[in-house]
Structure 1
Amino acid sequence: MRIALAATCIADALFPQAPRATVTLLERLGHEVVFPAGQACCGQMHVNTGYVREAVPVIRNHVETFAPVLDGEWDVVVVPSGSCTGSIRHQQAMVLDRAGLGAQARTAAGVAARTYELSELLVDVLGVEDVGAWFPHRVTYHPTCHSLRMLRVGDRPLRLLLAVGGIDLVELGAAESCCGFGGTFALKNAPTSAAMLEDKVTNVRDTGAEVLVAGDYSCLMHIGGGLSRASTGVRTMHLAEILASTREEVR
């Protein structure tokens, strides 16, 4: 399969290990991964903050960049982020349609239909749960809000993690509770966000895990800051990083 990678702007700028691991994993499974050079932000930050008009050119760029998936240049688009996948699937066509760009809105809907979050792609499209990974560490999983509630990925990430060799996967208490990030929510409602983060950090610490894993580096950035400030010694990793790990190269 030929797969186009939408790296996300936060990963491209701050956490390139997630898209890199996505490429490593998919290539190991025998697929070709391409990186469309014109990609930038998907527009989620603008829309979620109320700057819908300003989001239009950003979204148009994303749609135009990944439109070749509709002509068969690639089979699908993969995104190592539930949050950005949710925006692509549920916001982009709506914003363009409301801006009077009906034709581009239809193209956006078509692109969105061929776009998958990483665990969706692996389980639903590629039909694989055991990706041949090896990660001999105690791990706990945080289901991010957008992947859980908007994409409804369900237990797909857990099924992938349970198939990892050597892993000690432990349940996170109150796992489905928000970590408090919520994009600009953490800035606009800092005291509430900090209180939510404190609860999440306590629950992570209580697992005795060495590693906290999630499918969004935005949430991992937020939780990771709390874990670091609390001197827990727990490190954060994206799902792709663990799935890309092997006996020869444990991350």
Structure 2
Amino acid sequence: MRIALFVTCLADTMFPQAATATVRLLERLGHEVVFPPDQTCCGQMHINTGYPSDAVPLVRRHVRVFDPYDVIVAPSGSCVGAVRHQHATVARRAGDASLTSRAESVAARTYELSELLVDVLGVTDVGAYFPHRVTYHPTCHSLRMLRVGDRPPTLLRAVRGLDLVELPAQEQCCGFGGTFAVKNAETSTAMLADKMRHVLSTGADVCTASDASCLLHIGGGLSRLRTGVRTVHLAEILASTEHEPAVRG
């Protein structure tokens, strides 16, 4: 299958390892991954902060760039959520019927990584090896907008060497929420403290999720406290093998 990679801004600038892991994983499974070089921000930040009109050019560009592809994947629940649940609405409110139709078409072909693997490719065991104790944080957009459900845990349970431990109160937000963490720093920090307490209670070596933004928030807190717990994107774990491990040492 030929699959277009929607890399997302945060992965491109701060978590490139999640993007390269997505490519490595899908190529290992026998698929061709292409990277449309003209892609930019999907506009989620603009929409969520109340500037939908500023997002219209970004939606138009996203549709133009990805419309030629039958399948699109992103290692981000929040960005896929924006494409699937916001793009067509933004175009409709702008009065652009053609863009609305095309945005709906692109949205129907866009998947978060675990959705693509389980629902489209029919794979639950990707041949990964990751000998660590891991807990999984279901990010808000993955949990509530995309409803990925048990797809990520199902994939993690099939990873050889991995000990998956359930995260207490896993449905609670980590406190990032994009600009929420900036505009409501004290509340965000309190929510992060709760999330870190639950992560540490599991005794896990690694906390994983499908959104780099949440991992950035949680990982920053865990690092500042010198807990020794690392955050690793789901794609990195699924791409990890004996010969090319995601976490060394």
Q: Which band: TM-score by shorter chain? A: over 0.9
Give the AA of the match of 2:61.
Answer: N
Residue matched to 1:47: 47
| Cα separation, 2, equivalents of 1:45 and 1:172 | 28
Matched, 1:220 2:215: yes
Residue matched to 1:198: 193
Residue matched to 1:72: none
Matched residue SS, 2:208:
strand
Residue matched to 1:91: 86
| Cα separation, 2, equivalents of 1:229 and 1:110 | 43
Structure 1 residue ranges without an equivalent (≥5): 70-74
Give the AA of the match of 2:225.
Answer: A
Shift of 1:208: 1.0
Matched, 1:160 2:155: yes
Give the AA of the match of 1:22.
Answer: T
| Cα separation, 1, equivalents of 2:185 and 2:60 | 32
| Cα separation, 2, equivalents of 1:169 and 1:230 | 23
| Cα separation, 2, equivalents of 1:59 and 1:184 | 20
Residue matched to 1:239: 234
Residue matched to 1:14: 14
| 52-61 vs 19-28, which moves further | 52-61
Give the AA of the match of 1:92.
Answer: H
| Cα separation, 1, equivalents of 2:187 and 2:13 | 27
Matched residue SS, 1:237:
strand
Shift of 1:159: 0.1
| 55-64 vs 17-26, which moves further | 55-64
Shift of 1:59: 1.1
Matched, 1:35 2:35: yes
Shift of 1:63: 0.8
Shift of 1:250: 1.5
| Aligned Cα root-mean-square deviation (Å) | 0.6
Shift of 1:21: 0.2
Divergent runs of 4+, >3 A: none
Residue matched to 1:122: 117
Shift of 1:58: 1.1
| Cα separation, 2, equivalents of 1:68 and 1:133 | 31
Give the AA of the match of 2:101.
Answer: R
Residue matched to 1:144: 139
| Cα separation, 2, equivalents of 1:222 and 1:231 | 14
| Cα separation, 2, equivalents of 1:81 and 1:16 | 12
Matched, 1:113 2:124: no
TM-score when scaled to structure 1?
Answer: 0.97
Q: Report the number of matched residues.
A: 246
